[in-house]
Amino acid sequence: KDKPAMLTYTFSIEIFRFIASLSLLLTSRIGKIISHNYVFTPNGPIVEKDTIIVKMFGFNHACGNIDFNPAKEFAAIACFMIQVPFAYFVALSYFRIKLAYLNKEVSKGLYIYSVAIKPFCLIATNLIHMWFVNSPEVDYGFV
């Protein structure tokens, strides 16, 4: 009996990490543009120096640029361009480590660590959208 035909395709999984990182950078930059044009004074109703992020850290970092609508809404929609490629990278990196272990390129300890940590990494990666949908300005009752 003939073996069924198989398709193979070789690529670097780093492309997924690159896409996710680029998407994170673009989301942050676009969020900043939206916030400075529609949210923060003089164009919007919120004074940037009065936000919880500035009060906590003394300066406005990237999260402060996507904490308010419409930038927050854009980031919540765009986050899947970050989340999905990172999830693919994390899942496929398991196979990369396994192959390296089978070829005796990495230690058994690294392989065991990789097997143990991958579920946590995959869950954490799939919760990235929580960065974009929860506001630091709201009291959730557990902080």
Residue 115: is its pLDDT beyond 90? Answer: yes
pLDDT of residue 141: 53
Q: What is the per-residue pLDDT for 107?
A: 95
Q: Which residue has the tokens 């999260």?
A: 63
Distance of alpha carbon 93 from alpha carbon 96, whole angstroms: 5
- Two tokens at 8? 């193979």
- Each residue's pLDDT tens digit, 70-94: 888 899 889 899 999 999 999 999 9
Q: What is the model's pLDDT at position 127?
A: 86
pTM: 0.79
DSSP string, the chain: -PPPP-------THHHHHHHHHHHHHHHHHHHHHIIIIIBTTTSSB-GGGSHHHHHHSS--GGGGGSSTTHHHHHHHHTHHHHHHHHHHHHHHHHHHHHHHHTTSS-HHHHHHHHHHHHHHHHHHHTTHHHHHS-TTS--S--
